[in-house]
Amino acid sequence: MSLPVADYIPQATKTQRPFWFWLFALLIALSFLVSIIAAPLAAANNRSQVAFVLYHAFGTFCHQLPERSYFIAGHQFAVCARCTGLYAGFAIVLLVYPLIRPLRSVVVPSAKWLFVAATPLAIDFSLTFLGIWENTHTTRLLTGLLLGGATVFYVVPGLVELSMRVGRVESGQPVVPTFTMAPPETIAAAPSDYSSPERRIKV
């Protein structure tokens, strides 16, 4: 069921902070994606220092095997095909996220959907690892895209919740955990220590 337009576009002051958090995260995600391609372009244009910094930074998280990476201008991407999919999937879905869900929402999907999104990647990796078949750049990219995109729906609600907490702290409002009191009839119907002698405190 579609939601009103007002639910997708920040309207009031209280919703502006999630928007800025989302925008900041988007700029970071896009900068990572651009840097992946900037590394080989820098190497091709004799910007060796820039290329070294980018390759070294991404090498912390990726094996950067040439045979598993895309190439441009005669130089490989800063990360492998699968990691390229992860970064690209995250950035693309993050870009269109406000069109899919309200930025004010802090509802996180069930964890099972994250496992579902990771299953194709796990299968693609496992089959190659076991020698059953050899995956390709395309399968690595697509499985990475799927998992990277799905991750957005778990990261953004956390950022929104963080933005709201920061807003309360800056406004001087105490950040206290919320809880729901049980209905009076439930409390009245609860068994007491007199109905359970073994639970009485003995002195």
Grouped pLDDT means (10 residues each) for the chain, 203 residues: 49 69 97 98 96 97 96 97 98 97 93 96 94 93 98 96 75 52 58 53 48
- Answer yes or no: are the C-beta atoms of 88 and 33 closer than 8 Å: yes
Element (H, E) at 146: helix 137-170
- Tell me how far the alpha carbon of residue 189 is from its chain's centroid: 44
Q: What is the torsional sign of CA 176, 177, 180, 182?
A: negative
Q: What is the structure's pLDDT at 10?
A: 45
Q: What is the structure's pLDDT at 111?
A: 95
Q: How is the chain split into domains, by residue range?
A: 17-172
Q: What is the structure's pLDDT at 54?
A: 97
Q: What is the structure's pLDDT at 179?
A: 47
Q: What is the structure's pLDDT at 120?
A: 97
Q: What is the structure's pLDDT at 13?
A: 45
Q: What is the structure's pLDDT at 47?
A: 95
3-state SS of 38-56?
HHHHHHHCCCHHHHHHHHH
Q: Taking the model in full, what pTM does it have?
A: 0.75
Vertex 63, ends 59 and 67: CA angle to 5°? 120
